[in-house]
Amino acid sequence: MVDLSVRIAGVEFPNPVIAASGTYGNGECYTDLYPLSKLGGISCKGMTIEPKLGNPPPRIAETYSGILNSVGLQNIGVHGFIEYYLPTLKEEGNVIIANVAGAVIDDYIAAAEALDETDVDMIELNISCPNVKQGGASWGVSCEGAGSVTSAVRRATKKPLIVKLTPNVTDITEIAKAVEAEGADCISLINTLLGMRIDINSHRPILKNNTGGLSGPAVFPVAVRMVYQCYKAVNIPIIGMGGISVWEDAIEMMLAGATAIQMGTAIFNDPYSPLKVIEGIEEYMDRNNIKSLTEIIGQVKPW
């Protein structure tokens, strides 16, 4: 029997496949398809301290091997999540990761404090949000910004802390090292790449927000490269994501250095894809006489 479990910051995951934030809602649309406990965990819909309507439509656009989105963190707020979604998720028996976002540091602090005494297992910081006090640049594009929000949330909660990194930077390893130094227990990467599509008939951007985040298979090689670089740069676990669609992708990401993986866009095409990936990982381990995933994490052999 192979051991699919992984451990991150003291939290035990039954398998390494986690539903990525923003693509799985809070699990409510999938309970009729299969028990959510079959997943390694769920990173819940990104939430802000107050409810948010998100951006005006159109806010989804297809592109080759992926999608662009500018949903804008539509959510019912942290307290709505705690009241309406968390009890049901806990009954499902999942590892629950609460993904939080904010425009100013106080937003992140308030969200973390509200979640601190709840049953969520971990908090994941979305630092790809605009920092309104710094001209709208993402928190995650500078070591100072990423470090400051990580430090503030670290002081506000006892929960294990994941920091989700944006790829829209010059050197991902410097950001990874900055959040590790400020108390991150784990990093997750990559968030979406900034992209754009234009309607050639109207001459207008397809998305009302003009630009959006690119996800899906098109970004997978970028994600593998960044996970590989960060694995060599930090000493905390990594959750890899970005275009993972099949079990081979998951193995590749773990060889690059990921302890676990998140799946997002693939679920839109096939809601059963996470279960297929779990099954594929197990069969791969069995064929290759791999007893534990620790035997392959970070085991790529560079030329």
Vertex 264: Cα angle to 200 and 169 (nearest 5): 70
Location of structure tokens 């594009």: 141
- Residues whose CB falls within 8 Å of the CB of residue 182, separated by 6 or more in sequence, listed in order: 147, 148, 150, 151, 154
Give DSSP secondary structure letters for 37-68: GGSSEEEPPPB-SS-B--PPSP-EEEETTEEE
Specify the DSSP element, H or E, that contains 149: helix 143-156
Convert 29-65 to b/e letters by CB count within 10 Å (16 or more is b).
ebeeeeebebbbbbbbbbbbbeebeebeeebebebee
- How many Cα atoms occupy the beta-carbon half-sphere of 195 within 13 Å? 22
| Tokens of residue 215, six digits | 């996800």
| Residue 239 vs residues 70, 83, 161, 244: alpha-carbon distances, Å | 23, 28, 12, 12
- DSSP lists the bridge partners of residue 13 as 6
CA-CA-CA-CA torsion for 143, 172, 133, 163, nearest 10 degrees?
-90
| Tokens of residue 14, six digits | 């039954």
| Tokens of residue 104, six digits | 């100013």
129 catalytic per annotation: yes
Q: Which of 29, 44, 129, 186 is catalytic?
A: 129
Catalytic residues: 129
